[in-house]
Amino acid sequence: MTIRTLIIDDEPLARDRIKRLLRDEDGVQIIGECGNGSDAVKSITDMNPDLVFLDIQMPGKNGFEVIKSLNSKKLPTIIFVTAYDQYALQAFDVHALDYLLKPFNRERIKKAVSRAREHMEHRRIGNLDERLNSLIADLRGEKKYLDRLVVKSVGRVFFLKSDEIDWIEAAGNYVKLHVGRESHMIRETMNGIEAKLDPEKFLRIHRSTVVNIDRIKELHPMFSGDYAVILRNGTELALSRNYRERFTELFENQN
């Protein structure tokens, strides 16, 4: 498989270095290069490369803005390149997208190309690049939340719609999903599951509890300053003072 590759970096020396390091990579064909974000968008659109080495800090448009300007249905495989922006690196890492931190060596670029090959093979057989699409959605302010979860239980694997969940509680390195009279354990943190669920539908009411807002029936004050949250099925949960402000905010906005 020939990997048609485009190099985008505002520093000519940096572009030359990437080209030099790619010379020994079988099947990598460099089809062009450009030095700013505006040219990058045009080149990617016109040349339709398989792989792009994309710098972050560039004149015109930065790397984020380049991605935001592209057609999300025709995206190439992208390897980010940056010199120092640790905050950007953290953002990329969240989406598990590869990046090269300058200065990088031949071994590091070889590893990045290897990942790109694997990534493109997944695309070829029809698998979606969920991580990159997630990044695109975030950049456009269109973050998509989980509408179903994969649950493994007693030798079987099944899908659970998030709307079916009544409430969630922390259980060590797992969270327990309460669904009617059943409960299911999945390996996840409370912060992790909270970030993946729509905040308009799910609310953190305690450091160890997230609740489906539609399941809330009533709220009772307690002597400690906390509140008891009563669900429609009779379950009683605690609303901690630390989370009361967000709870109040949400329901005031609905009135």
The pLDDT tens digits for 177-216 are 999 999 999 888 888 888 889 888 999 999 999 999 999 9
Tokens standing for residue 6:
């485009």
In this predicted model, what pLDDT tens digit does every residue of 68-119 receive, in sequence order? 888 767 788 888 888 765 545 555 544 435 778 888 888 989 988 988 888 7
DSSP SS3 for 201 = coil
Per-residue model confidence (pLDDT) at position 136: 63
Task: Select from 228, 200, 220, 201 the least CA-distant residue to 212.
Answer: 201
Domain ranges of the chain: 3-139, 158-253
pLDDT of 125 reads 45
The pLDDT score that the predictor gives to residue 167 is 97
Confidence of residue 130 (pLDDT cuts 50, 70, 90): low
Judge residue 224's burial from the number of C-beta atoms within 10 Å of its C-beta, 0-12 exposed, 13-18 middle, 19 or more buried: exposed
pLDDT at 24: 86
Share of the chain above pLDDT 70, in %: 81
Superfamily of domain 158-253 in CATH is LytTr DNA-binding domain (2.40.50.1020)
| 3-state class (DSSP) for residue 32 | strand
Predicted structure pTM score: 0.52
Sheet strands (E) in 125-190: 148-153, 156-161, 167-171, 174-179, 182-186
40 or 145, which is more confident? 40
Beta bridge partners of 228: 220, 238
Would you identify the CATH topology of the domain 3-139? Answer: Rossmann fold (3.40.50)
